[in-house]
Homo-oligomer: A and B are copies of this chain.
Amino acid sequence: MSLPAQFHDIAKRVNNWGRWGAEDEIGTLNLITDEVVRTAAATTVRTGLRIPLALPLKEDGVQTGLIPGRVNPLHSMVQINQELFGPGTVATSDDAVTMGLQAATHWDALTHASHSGKIYNGRPAATITAHTRARFSGIEKARHIVSRGVLLDVARARGVDRLAGDHAVTPEDLDAAEELARTRVRAGDIVLVRTGQIQTYLAGDKHAYGYPSPGLSVRTPEWFHARDVAAVANDTLTFEIFPPEIEDLWLPVHALDLVEMGMLQGQNWNLEELSTACAQEGRYAFLLSAMPEPFVGGTGTPVAPVAIL
C-alpha cells in the first residue's frame, strides 16, 4: 500500500523542506520571531487573567490502552515525610512517575510522524533509534514556544456544545471561527481549535472521548500553511478526525503537518475554561506559553500551557 495521489498533491503544496535551510529542525516554529512575541505581550494581555489548559496528570487519564505503550501516569511516592537526617528533623516527600510522553496534554514533536521513510526536512526516519531516540527534531529543540495564541472556537461558531463524532473541521469552519474571534490569524500564531470533544472525557467517558472523534480535516493543513501558523493544538485524542475521512488514508493530517510542513501539533488540550473566558471577554487572542519539557530526543512531551488574557 502507498499513500494516494490526493495526499501527495496536498503534500506538495504545504511542504516546507529546505525553507529554513537544510539544517533546520524546528520548522514553523521559526515563524515565532521576537517581534511576534513582543507584539503579542503588548496587545493581547489586558486583564492578566491566566487560564491553564492541561488536564490533571493521574492514573485515570485519557488513555484506554488502545494505543500501545501510551500509558497514563503511574505516580507513586518514594518518600513520605521522611526524616532523612534523623528523628525530629525536617522531613521531605518525593514522588516519581512513569508515563507515555504523549499520554496526556502534549505536544507531538515533528518526529512523532514519518511517511515513506522520511521525517521533516527530508531526513531519514531511521535517524530515530531506541538508543538515540530522535537525533533530529527531538522535542528538546522546540525551545521557546511562547507566541500569540488564537482560539478558533469551531463548536461555538457552529452553535453547538461539541461537534459530532463524524465532523471533520474544514477550512470553512476555521473561517467562521476566525470571524467569531474578530482577529485574523497571522504568521507565528499558535492556533487552538476547539471541538468540545474533551467534554466527554471530563464527564467520565474516556472511551467515547477517543473514538469516534471530530478533528481536523485533511483540507486544513493548506489553511494553516497559507496563514503561516507556528503550531496548532486541539481538544481531542487524535487531533484529526478519526476514523479518517478518506477510506484507508490513516493519519494524513499528522503526515502533512508534522512531516511536510514541519508544524507542531498539540492534543488533549482542555479548552473549555478558555472558551468561556474568551466568549465573556469578546476576544479570542492572548499570550500563550506552552513550553515543552526538554526530553532529549523526545518524539513528544507533556505540556502545561497557559493562556494569558
| Residues A128 and B291 in contact in the complex (CB < 8 Å), given A52-B144, A101-B94 | no
Nearest chain-B residue to A49 (Cβ)?
B34
- Report yes or no: A38 in contact with B46, Cβ–Cβ below 8 A: yes
> Of the candidates B90, B96, B129, which one forms a contact with A80 in the assembled complex, judged by CB atoms under 8 Å apart?
B129
- Report yes or no: B295 in contact with A73, Cβ–Cβ below 8 A: yes
A113 to B48, CA, bound (A): 31
> Of the candidates B35, B69, B126, B304, which one forms a contact with A79 in the assembled complex, judged by CB atoms under 8 Å apart?
B69
A262 within 8 A of B: no
Q: Which of A98-133 contact B (CB under 8 A)?
A: 98-102, 111-115, 125-126, 128-131, 133
A299 proximity list for chain B (CB < 8 A):
77, 93-95
Q: Interface segment, A195-203, A208-216, A249-257?
A: A249-257
A42 to B41, CA, bound (A): 7
A280 proximity list for chain B (CB < 8 A):
none
A45 proximity list for chain B (CB < 8 A):
37-38, 41-42
| Residues A294 and B78 in contact in the complex (CB < 8 Å), given A41-B41, A93-B111, A100-B94 | no
Interface string of A56-92 (1 = CB under 8 A from B): 1111100001011111011111111110111111111
A27 within 8 A of B: no
A299 to B76, CA, bound (A): 10
A291 proximity list for chain B (CB < 8 A):
52, 54, 289, 291, 304-306
In this complex, the interface size class of chain A, counting residues with CB under 8 Å from chain B, is: 35 or more
A35 proximity list for chain B (CB < 8 A):
48
A93 proximity list for chain B (CB < 8 A):
111-114, 128, 130, 134, 299
A178 proximity list for chain B (CB < 8 A):
none
A292 within 8 A of B: yes
- Report yes or no: B112 in contact with A77, Cβ–Cβ below 8 A: no
Q: How distant is A248 from chain B, measured CB to nearest CB, in Å? A: 8
A289 to B37, CA, bound (A): 13
- Report yes or no: B74 in contact with A77, Cβ–Cβ below 8 A: no
- Report yes or no: A68 in contact with B78, Cβ–Cβ below 8 A: yes
> Of the candidates B92, B98, B128, B255, which one forms a contact with A77 in the assembled complex, judged by CB atoms under 8 Å apart?
B128
- Report yes or no: B294 in contact with A81, Cβ–Cβ below 8 A: no
> Of the candidates B57, B87, B298, which one forms a contact with A295 in the assembled complex, judged by CB atoms under 8 Å apart?
B57
- Report yes or no: B294 in contact with A52, Cβ–Cβ below 8 A: yes
Top 9 A-B residue pairs of the complex, sorted by shortest distance between their CB atoms = A69-B78, A38-B48, A34-B48, A37-B48, A50-B144, A289-B289, A41-B45, A1-B88, A291-B304
